[in-house]
């Protein structure tokens, strides 16, 4: 049995490969003690670790461990998943939307971290709580899917009311910039959350495609647990990436790239 673990800022991702079968699971990193108790009962000689909390986890484990840099592990695992999912890319940007967002230039052999931005899953949870007082991730993201951004976000077409804009009217001109024009709207929690997911997704897309342009590729691969139960985030990012002329790719189980890749690094 092979175990690879990515102990991240919010979630600990666990990949187990046994007799040709692979399983994926994730737990809150705040439950690291319980995770260690469970791991200490598994039949494994050496556990492969990555992520910011890997040292904390290693301290609690009885078996041998080996740790890897999370960016290399994510790249290794992503390459495996791309191949399995028949997504053929040469040079590409991959954007890992975790608690924060990390951006990498990659090809089949190597990766280089080329940027990052503090908008990501942590902001969705934290600003989401400040806006609605909802702590539960499932409830928060369920509600965000029902929101309408129309009264909150100012689009280019709202500014160019009766004339043709020089850029797509569908682009957001100002996130939250429509609020004061619409004070008679009732701004529901769902609407606020949808707009917040919008600004997170659009800022991530902007920095990702600027990197894609700089490094002369049209392909951007998005991974990370922030897409769990949040099809709205995926939709915002995919649509905006396409609108700007680039190709978005979403990889199934991409959130487990680091944990999977750690198994195959040596």
Number of neighbouring beta carbons within 10 Å of residue 145: 16
Among 4, 201, 224, 261, binds ligand ADP (CB under 6 A): 224
In the bound state with ligand ADP, the residue whose beta carbon lies nearer, of 22 and 27, is: 27
What part of residues 87-126 is at the interface with ligand ADP (CB under 6 A)?
A: 98-99, 121-122, 124-125
Closest by CA to 198, choosing from 157, 156, 228, 155, is 155
DSSP-assigned letter for residue 260: H
50 binds ligand ADP (CB under 6 A): no
Beta strands 111-117; 101-106: pairing state = antiparallel
Compute the chain's Rg from CA coordinates: 20
In the bound state with ligand ADP, the residue whose beta carbon lies nearer, of 13 and 158, is: 13
In the bound state with ligand ADP, the residue whose beta carbon lies nearer, of 132 and 178, is: 132
10 binds ligand ADP (CB under 6 A): yes
Q: DSSP per residue over 17-31, as a string? A: EETTEEEEEEEEGGG
> Could you tell me if 71 and 111 are in contact, meaning their C-beta atoms sit under 8 angstroms apart?
yes
In the bound state with ligand ADP, the residue whose beta carbon lies nearer, of 51 and 198, is: 51
In the bound state with ligand ADP, the residue whose beta carbon lies nearer, of 31 and 84, is: 31
Residues that are catalytic: 70
What is the Cα–Cα distance from 138 to 136, expressed in whole angstroms? 6
Residues contacting ligand ADP: total by CB under 6 A: 18
Largest CA distance in the chain: 69
What is the Cα–Cα distance from 30 to 110, expressed in whole angstroms? 32
> Could you tell me if 244 and 212 are in contact, meaning their C-beta atoms sit under 8 angstroms apart?
no
Contact string (CB under 6 A) for ligand ADP, positions 166-205, x = contact:
----------------------------------------
> Could you tell me if 104 and 210 are in contact, meaning their C-beta atoms sit under 8 angstroms apart?
no
What part of residues 228-257 is at the interface with ligand ADP (CB under 6 A)?
A: 228, 255
11 binds ligand ADP (CB under 6 A): yes
Stretch in the footprint of ligand ADP (CB under 6 A) among 3-11, 39-47, 157-165, 195-203: 3-11
Where on the chain is the footprint of ligand ADP (CB under 6 A)? 8-11, 28, 51, 98-99, 121-122, 124-125, 137, 224-226, 228, 255
């Amino acid at each position: 049995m092979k175990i690879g673990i990515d102990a991240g800022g919010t979630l600990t991702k666990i990949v187990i490969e046994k007799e040709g079968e692979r399983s994926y699971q994730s737990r809150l990193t705040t439950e690291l003690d319980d995770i260690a108790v469970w791991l200490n009962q598994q039949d494994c000689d050496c556990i492969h670790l990555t992520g910011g909390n890997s040292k904390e986890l290693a301290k609690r484990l009885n078996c041998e461990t080996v740790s890897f840099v999370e960016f290399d592990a994510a790249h290794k695992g992503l390459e495996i998943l791309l191949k399995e999912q028949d997504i053929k890319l040469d040079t590409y940007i991959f954007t890992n939307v975790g608690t924060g967002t990390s951006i990498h230039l990659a090809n089949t052999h190597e990766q280089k971290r080329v940027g990052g931005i503090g908008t990501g899953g942590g902001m969705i949870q934290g600003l989401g709580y400040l806006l609605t007082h909802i702590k539960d991730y499932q409830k928060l993201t369920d509600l965000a899917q029902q929101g309408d951004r129309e009264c909150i976000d100012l689009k280019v077409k709202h500014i160019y009311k009766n004339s043709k804009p020089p850029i797509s009217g569908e682009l957001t001109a100002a996130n939250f910039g429509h609020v004061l024009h619409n004070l008679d709207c009732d701004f529901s929690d769902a609407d606020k959350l949808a707009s917040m997911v919008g600004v997170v997704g659009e800022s991530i897309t902007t920095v990702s495609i600027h990197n894609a342009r700089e490094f002369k590729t049209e392909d951007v691969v998005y991974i990370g647990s922030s897409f769990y139960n949040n099809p709205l985030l995926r939709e915002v990012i995919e649509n905006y990436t396409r609108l700007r002329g680039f190709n978005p790719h979403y990889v199934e189980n991409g959130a487990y790239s680091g944990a999977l890749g750690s198994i195959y690094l040596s």
